[in-house]
Amino acid sequence: MLKNTLFGIILTVFSLFSAYAEECAGFPLNASGGKAYYIEMAADVDWRTSAIWATRIVTKTLKLATQNLWGKETSTVIDYFNKIDVDVLCAQECSKLSEAEIKAQGLYIHTHSNNGQGKCSIISRYPFSGITPNKYGVYINLGKGIVVLVMNCHGAFYPYGPYQLNGIEYKGFLPTTDVDYVIKVNKEARQAMVDRLLEDLASATTPFVSLSGDFNEPSWLDWTVDAQLAGIVPYVVQWPTTRLLWEGGIKGDAYRTIHSNPVIHPGYTWTPFPSMKDTRDRLDLTLYTLSPNTTVRECQIIGEDTSTSDITLSPWIFDHRGLRTEFVYTR
């Protein structure tokens, strides 16, 4: 009698556990270090069931944009942040941005002066867990054990190399056909920023780093032989700022990762309001180094209409187009 009772209790407990395991199978019960733990059910040829703990890969997406704010008010910036659906915004020309108003929205903000080029701010839905020595970057905790270093910059706005090589005088820098001279003076103008960025990059404690900003200089991947032959640019130029960052450890340009051909996809972010004498260039970039478990899923121009942009907002209120990038982590 006792034996039968004990057997019945054991059978009932096992049945309840099996039912619970079946109910939980496929649903994450716990998450740690970027992994979720599940119960997986199995049955042998005699229909005996068993349940084991198993891990499955969990993905995490970081949606990041860079935008020159052109001194817009905080309410306008918050509205833009929400409309483009991002986790992090790297912003430049933030003279009218109120940190108190940003924080009142439940967001996090870090601001630095960027060598006298005006304030740069990083706005995030996620909290910060540290700041780089030169204050160009913040560590952002995305949850599930994932931390990313996001850096933000604004390159000196003159000399402006594309103007020089396209016959346009600007801020005392005359037109020239001397590519080496243009590279020299543009390098000198932005070298201090590059040095500080590379110091912060070298100090990184996470393998994934994103560096965004208004560089006021094209990417070294844009003024190529093919672009010159197509008549898009007048010369082949390895622009110094991005080239120096590559030599210092940066490994990718998000827009060129997705759109590798500068002839088919020039990706212009300057300017939505060109004058007759102006040039069209890709100045707003997101560069990166990737950990083995990180990929660039997409990179899109944000602007005034579908002829120039992947994401459109009307009316367009900034003097640069923006750039929105999605990175995907798998752990």
The string of pLDDT tens digits covering residues 123-137 is: 999 999 999 999 999
Instruction: Name the residue with higher pLDDT: 68 or 35.
Output: 68
pLDDT > 60? residue 17: no
Encode burial over 87-103: b for 16+ CB neighbours within 10 A, e otherwise: bbbbbbbbeebebeebe
The β-bridge relationship of strands 284-289 and 294-303 is: unpaired
Q: Report CA torsion sign: 271, 190, 157, 91.
A: positive
- The pLDDT of 289-302, averaged and rounded, is 94
The two three-digit tokens of residue 115, written as one number: 């060598």
Give the model's confidence band at 143: pLDDT under 50 very low, under 70 low, under 90 confident, else very high: confident
pLDDT > 80? residue 14: no
- The pLDDT of 15-24, averaged and rounded, is 42
pLDDT > 60? residue 233: yes
Give the model's confidence band at 54: pLDDT under 50 very low, under 70 low, under 90 confident, else very high: low
Structure pTM? 0.83
- The pLDDT of 226-230, averaged and rounded, is 98
What pLDDT is recorded for position 39?
55
Q: How far is CA 128 from CA 61, 108, 133, 184, in A?
A: 17, 7, 14, 37
Could you report how far apart the first and last alpha carbons of the chain are, in Å?
A: 53
Phi-psi region of 21 (alpha: psi -120 to 50; beta: other; left: phi over 0): alpha
Separation CA 111–CA 30 (nearest Å):
36
Whether omega for the bond prior to residue 315 falls within 30 degrees of 0, making it cis, is yes
Give the model's confidence band at 1: pLDDT under 50 very low, under 70 low, under 90 confident, else very high: low
Are 133 and 197 in contact, with CB atoms under 8 Å apart? no
What pLDDT is recorded for position 44?
54
pLDDT > 90? residue 179: yes
> For residue 225, what are the contacts with CB-CB under 8 A and spacing of at least 6?
236
Mind listing the domains of the chain with CATH numbers? 2-57 (no CATH), 59-330 (3.60.10.10)
Q: Which percentage of the chain shows pLDDT scores above 90?
A: 76
Encode burial over 272-288: b for 16+ CB neighbours within 10 A, e otherwise: beeeeeebebbbbbbbb
pLDDT > 90? residue 322: yes
Q: Report CA torsion sign: 320, 267, 328, 287.
A: negative
